[in-house]
Amino acid sequence: MANCIQCGRKLPAFSFKKICQWCVQHEAAQRGEFDDAAKQHVVPAPWARREAGVTLTRVIFGANLAVFLAMVLASGNPLAFADPNQGFSTRLAVHFGANVGVFTLTGQWWRLLTYMFLHGNLLHIAFNMWCLWDLGALSESLYGRWTYLSIYLLTGVSGGLASAGWNPMRPSVGASGAIFGLAGALIASFYLGEFSLPSVAIRGTLRSLLVFVCFNVFFGSLFPGIDNACHAGGLIAGLILGALIARVAPEPDRPLRRVGVLLFMLLLLSGAAAGIRLWWG
């Protein structure tokens, strides 16, 4: 089925028109061919998917907050989390599941998932959750619920592997690897034209995503405590996933292709994990 050249909505099957009925009526109203009593029929935008109930972004957001509160209670120092120079102790972070290469690469692979829900202090979780709220909502509405969740987890694992491989003695926590993965997937998909959005919206959103990535890379290079390896691993995995989905499985109504892309990415990450473990002996 073809798409409307103006708004991107799907045109009826076997239609030779290039503009949908909604745009035809809208242009006629703009020219004044309809009187004021004639109302434009409301049609949802093609990129706005309505999700029933609680969104996954809110669930992930709530999970991060719940783990943070648990760490506050377990720390024994309720005010430590508010100090950006102190935060939670390394011992507490490791106990809750921080990603430490010497543990992760020697069998505790579950840390590649748990570290994504841990944060070092109040400023850390506040910034990450602010980014997640915007990027997560956009990714979930464009990709759909389960593709979005898969991208989030796979890119987060990729960021964890990069961190463990780059510095296996350094504990790593935070959702930023997965957030960079979402940004990477969106950049690749927008650039390759997966979504049927107006070109103005695509250019503006793509520009914002590029600014977000460049700013965070620059900001991360200024402070030694920021895990840039995790950011790079998540971003690269997101770019690969976004490109594969855009080229191989752009249609959400063909789930087997999407599953194939996600399984292929999982295979790549498994190979990378085996290679990193072999490298460090």
| 172: β partners | 99
| 99: β partners | 172
Of 26, 119, 124, 231, the catalytic one is 231
Active site residue 231: yes
Of 176, 196, 208, 221, the catalytic one is 176
Residues 6+ apart with CB under 8 A from 138: 186, 205
Catalytically active residues, by annotation: 176, 231
